[in-house]
Amino acid sequence: MKLALEDRVPNVSGDAFDLKAWYRSWKNSRGGQAESEPTHVKVEAVDEFQALMSWSEVDSALLLYAQDGEPLKKGYPIRLYVPDGSSECLNVKSVVHIWFLHDALLGEEATFGFKNKVTLDELKIKK
Arithmetic mean of pLDDT, 13-35: 84
Q: What is the DSSP string of 37-68?
A: PPSEEEEEETT-EEEEEEGGGGTT-EEEEEET
Report how many domains make up the chain.
1
Enclosing domain of residue 86: 2-123
In this model, does residue 90 exceed pLDDT 90?
A: no
Q: List, for residues 41-69, the tens digit of each pLDDT value.
A: 999 999 999 999 999 999 989 999 999 88
What are the C-alpha distances in Å from 48 to residues 17, 41, 42?
23, 15, 12
Per-residue model confidence (pLDDT) at position 13: 84
pTM, two decimals, is: 0.80
How sure is the predictor about 26, in pLDDT bands with cuts at 50, 70 and 90? confident
